[in-house]
Structures are given as structure tokens and as C-alpha cells.
Amino acid sequence: MNHPIRRRAFVAGLAAAPLTFSFAQDASRPIRIIVPFGPGGGSDPPARFFGARLGEALRQTVVVENKPGGISGSIGTLAVKAAPADGLSILVASMSPLVVNPIIVKDLAYDPLKDFKPITGLTKTTNAIVVPANSPHNDLASLVKASRANPNLNAGGSSALFQLGATWFASLAGFKFTYAPYKSVGQVLTDVGGGNLDWAFVDLGGALPLAKAGRVKVLGTTSDQRHRSLPDVPTVLESGWKDFVFHSWITFHVRAETPDDITKRLVDAMRPIVNSDAARDFARSVDADLFPLGPDALMRHHREELVRFQQVAQAAGIKPQ
């Protein structure tokens, strides 16, 4: 079945001089950075931080627009696909629209590899498996043992990305569970903290404040090494589940038809920004790591992620709907 893929503006840089770059015929036109999720989500802070610095580098106004809706960011993603290929519309891309949607959505209205091309990676974050603070489980082995004995234990997540992560973990660990979908990570964590969910697969940055407040327990993180904010919490990988590494990443993409000279100017402007000390400080402030891949490396990574998670979906019996 075809899915109909259905402003808050933030001025991130002011036009301080006439624009000399060829991709803007009218220097008064801003560069739009499209976030396909609502304000306050995980994509929002990187969009605003890096958008501001791009505006400074190009000496042009940059406007961040939130366009939430559709299936895991599909409306905002399609807005960039529909915009002119002039470098003035940049997609704040992430795993949900570019990796998960192609796997779970039948007849998706865009092709992430053919319709878009990368400019730069921005940040990547770690995810986490969390339980209520009063849960009897203090490690993943205990949670897995209980889940094998009781397939009716419930888990929550705020997007198809987190559902895929939870399903992948359950598939590797050999148990089933009842999945409860939520619209925001805040709602998920509220229900975990209140004991309404047995466990959840969430973004670690969202869970950290509640973990530090003693309202939830983090049983495992999904990076290839322990997170600096939780040095005592093992990764899923070191807890015994081989190959389970699951980052969420955020990037800048433009339409695939954008001319090479325009793309190069954007790439050249972003390269020193994403490798700066200010960018490192920003990433740490949001409990993320820098992800400064250039276009070629990012395209290779994207292709690898699609293959990897298609295999995950197949193993878990997830089919496009």
C-alpha cells in the first residue's frame, strides 16, 4: 500500500555580506535546514548548532525548519526531495528515515540512496536498554532470563528505529516480548519510571537524567565501548551478545541532483566545522560523539547500515507493511 508521506523557524546566521557562491542566485534567500521531527527531538540541537556555524561560514542566513509527521520523518524528508536541487534545502538525516523506513515501509515514496547524497556526518549517539528503578533485574542476563520465561513482558520505544533495536536484541537473546509504541522518548521513560513498562530501548541521552535521578536503571548500552557518563554499565556487546552495536547518527544530506560544485562548496564549508573544538564540546554537551564522515565515507557507511539492518529485519521476521 502506498503511504501518503504528509514552522517553527530559527535564524541561525545573519547575512553579513553579499553571497558569492554560485548556488544562490538571490543572496537574500536563506538556506533551509529541514529537521523531519518536532522541536526538542534528538535531531534538533545538532541542526541548530551546525546550521548556525554553516551560516557564519557562508555569511548567509540559515533557517532551521521543523517538519515532523508521516512515517518516522518521511514528511520532512520528502520536503527536501521536492525542493529545487540548488543547495538551499538541506535535510537533517538520521537512521529512521534513511535506514529504517526503507526496511519497514512498503512502497516508500523516496529512495534514500538515489534521491539524496551526503554532505557530512554530524553526531552519533548511543542507545540503551533501561528498566524501572525498582526492577528486580540488575543486568541484561537477568532480564533475558525473565523474558524467556514470560513472553508477555512489555517493552516500549518511541520510533520504528527503537522497535528495530529492541526486536534485534530479543532475536539475538532468544526471547519474545510485547511491544508498546510511543510518540516520544519522554513518554516511554515516564512509563518505565512508573513501572508501566518492563523495559525499553531508548536513546541514552534521554535516559541519562532519569538514570542519574534514580528513576530508571540502565542495564546496557549499545556502543562498541562503555559510555563516558556510565562507566560502570557494560555494553550489550560485552554482556555476551556478539555484533550488537547500534548507534543513532545524524547527518546533512541534499538532493542527489544537486550539482557537484554546489555540493563541494557545502562540503568544504562543513569540514572544518565538524572537526572543530567547538563541535566536540557541543557533542559532549548532548552526550553524543562527533561523526565527521565526508561524503564518500558516509555513503559507504549508509550502504553498510542498510545491508546490516535488512539482515536484522529478516532474522527477526520484520517485513515491510
Could you report the per-residue pLDDT of 220-229, keeping only the tens digit for each?
A: 999 999 999 9
Burial class (CB in 10 A: 0-12, 13-18, 19+), 268: exposed
The model's pLDDT over 57-102, given as tens digits with 9 standing for 90+, comes to 999 999 999 999 888 899 999 999 999 999 999 999 999 999 999 9
Cα–Cα distance between 183 and 278 in angstroms, integer? 32
Nearest to 188 by CA among 113, 132, 108, 116: 132
Domains 8-124+249-316 and 126-221 fall in the same CATH topology: yes
Question: So what's the pLDDT on residue 69?
Answer: 87
Cα–Cα distance between 272 and 268 in angstroms, integer? 8
pLDDT classification of 26: cutoffs 50, 70, 90 = very low
Question: So what's the pLDDT on residue 4?
Answer: 40
Cα–Cα distance between 224 and 167 in angstroms, integer? 19
The predicted model scores a pTM of 0.84
Residue with cell 533551509: 32
Instruction: State the architecture of 8-124+249-316 in CATH terms.
Output: 3-Layer(aba) Sandwich (3.40)
Instruction: State the architecture of 126-221 in CATH terms.
Output: 3-Layer(aba) Sandwich (3.40)
The model's pLDDT over 198-244, given as tens digits with 9 standing for 90+, comes to 999 999 988 999 999 999 999 999 999 999 999 999 999 999 998 89
Going from N- to C-terminal start, the domains of the chain cover: 8-124+249-316, 126-221
pLDDT tops 90 at residue 28 = no
Q: What ranges in the chain are assigned the alpha helix state H?
A: 44-58, 74-82, 95, 101-104, 140-149, 160-173, 185-193, 204-212, 260-274, 277-285, 295-316
Crossing angle of helices 295-316/160-173, nearest 10°? 60
The model's pLDDT over 275-320, given as tens digits with 9 standing for 90+, comes to 999 999 999 999 899 999 999 999 999 999 999 999 888 877 888 8
Residue 68's alpha-carbon distances to 65, 76, 127, 199, 208, in angstroms, are 10, 6, 22, 27, 25
In DSSP notation, 156-208 reads EESSHHHHHHHHHHHHHHT---EEEE-S-HHHHHHHHHTTSSSEEEEEHHHHH
The x, y and z cell numbers of residue 95, run together, are: 537512521
93 and 251 in contact (C-beta within 8 Å)?
yes
